[in-house]
Amino acid sequence: MDMVAVPTLPVYPGELEFCYSATTDALQKTFERESRLLSMPSKRDLLGKENLSSGPDWSEFQWSRIFAFITGVSITVLYFWMNPFQYIPDWTAAAIGAVPVGFLLYSFSSQSWQTCAKIAAGTAIGIGLGTYF
């Protein structure tokens, strides 16, 4: 940013340098103040040390894996309680048994849900075909 001083009164030697340096200093201070205001404070700066939580951080729990475990156990209990072998063909009932295993695999492993679903589907197809033939 170039400053151009246009004097309207007679200028004495050194007066222009004083005005220019004073303007430059003021601009520099303004820039520093604005840059401090625009910089984003950290979470620690905002919360401070006295505001630390003493309880569990619920957002850090892997809820999808916890719900997969509950679903896998529930489907397993339902599978044995219902006894699908008396209502549907044996190969289908055996293949359905791989579904809760897929949920339990996902809940206990660090694999993605897609990988666990592929493993469960492959197991279901293998058990179904093995029982059918």
CA distance 9 to 127: 100
pLDDT of residue 94 exceeding 80, the answer is: yes
Q: Indicate the pLDDT class of residue 131, thresholds 50, 70 and 90.
A: confident
What is the pLDDT of the chain when averaged over all its residues? 78
Classified as helix, coil or strand, 12 is coil
pLDDT, tens digit, 9 for 90 and up, residues 39-85: 676 777 677 666 556 677 777 778 888 999 999 999 999 999 998 88
DSSP state of 50: G
Region 82-105: mean pLDDT is 91
> What is the reported pTM?
0.55
Q: Would you state the pLDDT for residue 36?
A: 63
Q: Which of 93, 85, 76, 99 is nearest to 128 (CA)?
A: 93
Please list the alpha-helical segments (H only) found in the chain.
15-38, 43-47, 63-82, 90-96, 98-108, 113-132
Angle at 45 between CA 39 and CA 46, to 5 degrees: 90
